[in-house]
Every structure is written in structure tokens, then in C-alpha cells.
Amino acid sequence: MLRVFSPKGDLLWKVESHAFLDTYCVDPASDGRVIYGVDEIFNFDLQQKPGNNWSLKAITLDRHANPADPR
């Protein structure tokens, strides 16, 4: 994630890239609104404009708590 802030501390913009070399699966019980990756979960809403139609819900990998996790 890359974030840029104004001198006052306001978020000006951000770029997130989670899809590099990853595979995703839609949760069928969510009607396509929840997407699971290898180590993240996204919310997805087709009613929103492209670029604003997804949000990061969770990171499921914790290398500090589970250092042996092979993901």
C-alpha cells in the first residue's frame, strides 16, 4: 500500500495492490460480495464505480503469531 498525505495529515490518495501472483475465490453464500485471496478478504460491490467497488476486509496472515504458516 502506498499512501500520500497533505502537510495537515489528510489522506490525499492511496494505491493498493493485492492481486500480484494470487488466486481468488468468491464466497457463494455472499452473492459475490465477499472475495477470498490467499491471505486477504475483500468486500466487493458492483453498484459502486470501478476503483471504489472493493475494500479490504481483513488480512488473514499473521507472520508474528504464526511464523510457520507457509503462505
Whether the CB-CB separation of 43 and 58 falls below 8 Å is answered with no
Give the residue numbers spanning the domain of 53.
20-71
Task: Quote the pLDDT of residue 17.
Answer: 73
pLDDT in tens, 1-55: 789 999 999 999 988 777 777 888 999 999 999 999 988 999 999 999 988 899 9
Q: What domain count does the chain have?
A: 1
Residue 7 lies in a domain: no
Task: Quote the pLDDT of residue 14.
Answer: 84
Closest CA to 37 of 63, 67, 57: 57
Residue 13 lies in a domain: no
CA distance 56 to 18: 9
Residue 67 lies in a domain: yes
Which backbone phi and psi does 3 adopt, to 5 degrees? -125, 145
Q: Which pLDDT band, with edges at 50, 70 and 90, does 61 fall under?
A: confident
